Structure 1
Amino acid sequence: MTRKLHILLLLSMAAALPQLSGCVGAVAVGAGAGALMVSDRRPSETYLSDQGIEIRAANRIDERFGDKAHINVTSYNRAVLLTGEVPDAATKAEVEKITAAVPDVKAISNELEIAGISSLSSRSNDTYVTSKVKGRFLDANKFSVNAVKVVTENGVVYLLGIVSQREADAAVEVARTTGGVRKVVRLFEIVSEAQAKRLDDPANKPTQSGAPAAATPPPTPAKQ
């Protein structure tokens, strides 16, 4: 989709927000989402594409498996992370196949576990762990917090983002030493320090879809 169409889509979404219930809250959410997109290192087109990938993949997986599996889909720079629990290897493979068929997906890290579906308390704890990691990122103040996406599944923390090697190492160290974290998995795209700084300035972000030219492709998950 062209940049112009994306802008029109954003404007349409903004115009529709006041028609939703709780107009003030809806407008606040829209403004917050816009601010996050501006501060993100991904181009706006890619940011929106990632949201679309997550929705499409999740819907297709749910239609196929329903409550037989617990699967989370996270897309960053069109590289998809699959986490959760599935009953067997065949289901794990089929989920990956379904995801790969979603438009714009360029890579998949299939971290699904063959296990019973996690409990509500386990998922609540994962949410808590994610919030603790993000809070410690803020306290550490060693990199742009918005550059690192945190996903937690069964105590395993997955870190995604377009970052420098220094930022990646700092994020891993903070996450690794956070209470409740069993393991850390890196899923970063590495760029130079200079490029990371340029990407933090919205005026310098790429306008074309995809990762910055100097970014490395999504690596094989590295567990800490």
Structure 2
Amino acid sequence: MPNAPHTASRSAQPLEGRRRLVLGLLAAGSLPLLQGCFPVVATGVGASAAMISDRRTSGAYVEDEGIEWKVASRIRERFGDSAHINVTSYNRNVLLTGEAPNETVRSELERIVAGVEHVRGVINEVVVGPNSSLTARGNDALITSNVKARFVDAQRFSPHNVKVVTEANVVFLLGIVTRAEADAAAEVARTSKAVRKVVRVFEYISDEEARRLDNPTGARK
């Protein structure tokens, strides 16, 4: 069972179940999510392949999309442009990054996230200060792209298993990984251009569990 940033558990789902869900997405073109309040539109073979290779269950994968949309919407309704908040949900744990105008707003963000269905935990990395500039956000996007590309070049772990978020030159790494995979990902990110700091937001699993999740039919590479 993964060791989450906060105490959490996850259940295994057979690969066949994931494939059935993917086929349903491709056939229907969209999927009602969270009791019909938010439609997730299938984006084609690329997104479907990513879901199959992901270590999250297909249910968690889809719920993460809904959680991000709901949290971002509620924050936007509450604070408008007075705060710049990025929301990233991975296996139902929500990472908040960005800037809040004061500590009161920063604290209220956690209450907003906690009120969203299916959220298991909140990692609040929002800083108090003025909103970042568009130039700074563009630089963060470039850092994220570079780190992802270096993950592929390094060939030390599957890049599908590590999500990268960058804020103010700080790289946050999320995923369901082994300790060795986490160390490799952190090392690659740390040595990437313009990265100021690396923060791990991983759920840790054993090598045996990783093999089981990567090969749910029992096949071994």
Q: Does 1:15 align with 2:28?
A: yes
Residue 145 of structure 2 corresponds to 131
- Secondary structure of the 2:119 match is coil
User: Does the aligned pair in 1 maintain the 2:21–2:58 contact within 8 Å?
Assistant: no
TM-score, reference length from structure 1: 0.80
Residues 175, 201 of structure 2: 8 Å contact kept: yes
Match of 1:174 among 178, 184, 188: 188
Which amino acid letter does the alignment assign opposite residue 11 of structure 1?
G
Unaligned runs of at least 5 residues, structure 1: 18-25, 205-224
Number of matched residues? 192
Per-residue deviation, 1:203: 3.8
Deviation for aligned residue 1:11: 2.6
Q: Which amino acid aligns with 2:154?
A: A
Q: Which residue in the other structure is 1:20 paired with?
A: none
1:192 maps to amino acid: S
Q: Determine the C-alpha separation between the residues in 2 that align with 1:149 and 1:71.
A: 18
1:51 lines up with 2:65 in the alignment: yes
TM-superposed deviation, 1:30:
2.2
CA distance in 1, matches of 2:63, 2:174: 16
Aligned to 1:200: 214
Q: TM-score, normalised by structure 2?
A: 0.81
- Residue by residue over 1:123-179, the C-alpha shift from the partner in whole angstroms, topping out at 9 and shown as x without a partner, is 111110001101111111001110001000010000010100000000000000001
* Mapping for residues 1-224 of structure 1, pairs under 5 Å: 11=24, 14-16=27-29, 29-203=43-217
Query: What is the percentage of aligned positions where both structures have the same residue?
Result: 55
Shift of 1:13: 6.7
Aligned residue type for 2:24: L
Distance 2:169 2:21 in 1: 40
Q: Whole-Å Cα distance in 2 between the matches of residues 102 and 169 of structure 1?
A: 32
Instruction: Provide structure 2 residue ranges, at least 5 long, that are not aligned to the other structure.
Output: 1-12, 31-40
CA drift at 1:90: 0.3
What is the distance in 2 between the residues matched to 1:9 and 1:31? 9
Say if 1:202 and 1:126 are closer, same or farther in 2 by CA, change over 3 A: farther
Q: What's the Cα RMSD here?
A: 2.2
2-structure distance, mates of 1:8, 1:188 = 26
Whichever structure has more helix as a proportion of its residues is 1
SS of the counterpart of 2:44? helix
Q: Please state whether the residue corresponding to 1:173 is helix, strand or coil.
A: helix
Q: Is the 8 A contact 1:159 1:186 kept in 2?
A: yes
- For residues 99-123 of structure 1, what are the alpha-carbon distances to aligned partners after superposition, in whole Å with 9 as ceiling and x for unaligned? 1100010110000010110111111
Does the C-alpha gap of structure 1 residues 91 and 9 become closer, same or farther in structure 2, counting only changes over 3 Å? farther
Moved more, 110-119 or 191-200: 191-200
